[in-house]
Amino acid sequence: MEEIREECGVAAVSLPENMKDVPIGGAAYYLYKMLLQQQHRGQNSAGITTYNKNRRQIIDTYKELGMVNKVFRSHNKNKNLSILKHYTGTKGIGHVRYATSGSDEEGNAQPFERHHGRLWKWFSFAFNGHIGNFSELKKELMNSSYHLVRNTDTELVMHYISKAQVGEKKRNLEDVFGELGEVFDGAYCLTYLDAKGTMAIVRDPIGIRPLCYSKTDGFFRAASESCALTDSEADKIKNIRPGEMVIVENGSVEVKRFAKKRKTAHCMFEWVYFSNPATVIDGASVYDARWKLGEQLARQECLDLKGDGCVVVAVPDTAKPAAAGYAHEAGLPSMEGLIRNRYVGRTFIESGDRLEIAREKYNINKTVIEGKKVILVDDSIVRGTTGKAFIQMLRKRGKPKEVHMRVSCPPIKYPCYYGTDMSTMRELAAPRHMDLDEARTTGIDVSDKVIKKICEEMGLDSLAYQKIDGVKKAISLPEGNRGLCMACLSGEYPTECGKKLFCKALKDFEKNPGKKHVRII
């Protein structure tokens, strides 16, 4: 019911020199298609940079605000072909963006291109994640007579990449990103392209955000999610491991390690909410994880589910697998009591009318809900504000006998410093009802008392959440790669900067327990 926004999605492509039947646009065409498959990761803007050694503008960037089809004018065949022809290339990188930092201005759209007279210093890059120690690194840049126009971590990354490439000779990119890996604290997946035609795809040392690639007969592609590589054979899609990078240069594709191995911390929200259900991340299926989360919710159920009047209803669309898993385990029908309007897109209502947002977003299927005990399955409750309005609408228009909500993600208690749009404690539903002792106690599930208060606030007959251990069980990562980042649930942050920022958040919470907090990053 409430959209949690993740930073972005990235893509990269390199075509073999002898490739036959190249579509119009070459790399630009494939990037357009790959970004379409990752539209769910960002709807503020979309963009590409392509490489063409026969073009005066050897690398050239095209980006605009809006969704992918709007940016690439897919509604008008001639305009679409004109864009693809203009940006024809043999290599390229792409990006879709949500704004968790910085505004929705076109200047913040990616990729970011930095011009320079030397070809290897003329580069473009796209970035997914968040640099947690942005404030400290920004001060360091400002003390060195740098200036940030956009005041975003993407701009900061651009300056640090350029700083690392000083000198008269081109440096090895594994050395460049190796140095940056020692400086950056946070989550980052990068796609990089320079005017020498060298491309790099980089994943941070603890692997918070996903990144994968495929290579077939010299045709190379990389993306945030495997669903963007839909026409690749499944066994040819490989994950870029944390701390590794793929370098595409002079017809070769090499995987290199740029950072020392560390304990992994994959963002659990990628499986719970962000990623496409068809995606497989680090060997673990997103769909399977969501189904198992639903099964576990049913196993811990305390309600009497006997009788003909009980129906399971998913909050579309990301909660559908969890609802199906719950219904299967509980032996109940899973029906579409809510129909999402897929043509609304994002809403910007000046009044902030939550009820109106809910009305625009969903249609109530009264024939499924009326007179029934409705088990409403959602993937998460973040702030609870839209949810409260939504439950009011459901009761008024659907006329259910009872409404019981089951949530496949545990209560979100703490901020995220790694690229998810949850920056303060007081904006979240659970901390609004927590006392200081519970806020300070990390690594445990939220108390029943807090859940009861959230239930009352939202106007539900009952409310139950997934347990923290349940998330670990549902996400079946391979041996040796099982570390998850669940800091927003447990308060256990995987990086030093995250721990420091969390201490600041707790101090702010203690000083102003009754106030909505400001951003501290």
pLDDT at 5: 55
pLDDT at 6: 54
How far apart CA 44 and CA 56 sit, in angstroms, is: 30
438 plus 353 within the same structural domain: yes
376 plus 254 within the same structural domain: no
223 plus 306 within the same structural domain: no
Q: Does residue 31 lie in a domain region?
A: yes
Token look-up 């503020």 returns 44
Q: Does residue 367 lie in a domain region?
A: yes
200 plus 291 within the same structural domain: no
- Domain end marker among 229, 262, 295: 262
Per the structure, how many domains does the chain have? 2
CA 54-58-60 angle, 5° bins:
125
- Domain end marker among 209, 228, 262: 262
pLDDT at 345: 56
| Catalytic residue IDs | 8
Question: What confidence tens digit (pLDDT) does each residue in 314-341 have?
Answer: 998 899 999 999 999 999 999 999 988 8
Residues 453 and 381 sit within 8 Å (Cβ to Cβ): no
Q: Does residue 520 lie in a domain region?
A: no
200 plus 132 within the same structural domain: yes
Q: Average pLDDT for consecutive 10-residue bins of the chain (521 residues)?
A: 68 93 96 96 95 97 96 97 98 87 74 95 96 94 90 93 91 95 95 98 97 94 95 84 96 95 95 95 96 97 88 94 97 93 55 62 92 96 83 94 97 92 82 91 94 94 96 90 92 95 90 50 31
Residues 435 and 454 sit within 8 Å (Cβ to Cβ): no
Count the neighbouring beta carbons within 10 Å of the beta carbon of residue 459.
Answer: 15
CA 4-382-461 angle, 5° bins:
135
Q: Which CATH number fits the domain that encloses residue 383?
A: 3.40.50.2020
Classify residue 270 by its DSSP letter.
I
Tally DSSP H helices, then E strands, for the chain. 17, 23
Residues 410 and 489 sit within 8 Å (Cβ to Cβ): yes
The tokens of 363 are what? 């249609």
318 plus 402 within the same structural domain: yes
510 class by beta-carbon count within 10 Å (0-12 exposed, 13-18 middle, 19+ buried): exposed
How far apart CA 423 and CA 345 sit, in angstroms, is: 24
306 plus 256 within the same structural domain: no
What length does the chain have? 521
Count the neighbouring beta carbons within 10 Å of the beta carbon of residue 335.
Answer: 18
Nearest CA-CA partner of 30 in 12, 51, 8, 10: 12
Q: Write out the residue range of the structural domain in which residue 341 sits.
A: 284-511
Output the DSSP codes for 100-142.
SSS-S-GGG-S-EEE--SSGGG-EEEEEEEEETTHHHHHHHHH
How far apart CA 518 and CA 427 sit, in angstroms, is: 9
Q: Does residue 277 lie in a domain region?
A: no
pLDDT at 519: 35
Q: Which residues of 20-53 are buried (b: 16+ CB within 10 A; e: fewer)?
A: eeeeebbbbbbbbbbbbbbbbbbbbbbbbbbbbe
142 plus 73 within the same structural domain: yes
Question: What confidence tens digit (pLDDT) does each residue in 12-68 have?
Answer: 999 998 888 999 999 999 999 999 999 999 999 999 999 999 999 999 999 999 999
135 plus 216 within the same structural domain: yes
331 class by beta-carbon count within 10 Å (0-12 exposed, 13-18 middle, 19+ buried): exposed
Tell me the pTM: 0.92
Q: Does residue 274 lie in a domain region?
A: no
29 plus 66 within the same structural domain: yes
Q: Does residue 163 lie in a domain region?
A: yes
Q: Give the count of alpha carbons within 13 A of 362, CB side only.
A: 26
Residue type, 79: K
Q: What is the 3-state secondary structure (H, E, C) of 418-460?
A: CCECCCCCCCCCCHHHCCHHHHHCCCCCCCHHHHHHHHHHHCC
Residues 132 and 185 sit within 8 Å (Cβ to Cβ): yes
81 plus 135 within the same structural domain: yes
How far apart CA 180 and CA 188 sit, in angstroms, is: 11
Q: Which residues contact 202 (CB under 8 A, 6 or more apart)?
A: 177, 188, 189, 190, 191, 192, 240, 245, 258
Q: Which CATH number fits the domain that encloses residue 219?
A: 3.60.20.10
pLDDT at 317: 87
The tokens of 492 are what? 């256990």
Q: Does residue 46 lie in a domain region?
A: yes
- Domain end marker among 196, 227, 262: 262
476 plus 396 within the same structural domain: yes
Cis upstream peptide for 400 (omega within 30°) = no
Q: Does residue 67 lie in a domain region?
A: yes
Nearest CA-CA partner of 159 in 143, 174, 138, 175: 138
Backbone angles phi, psi at 61, to 5 degrees: -115, 135
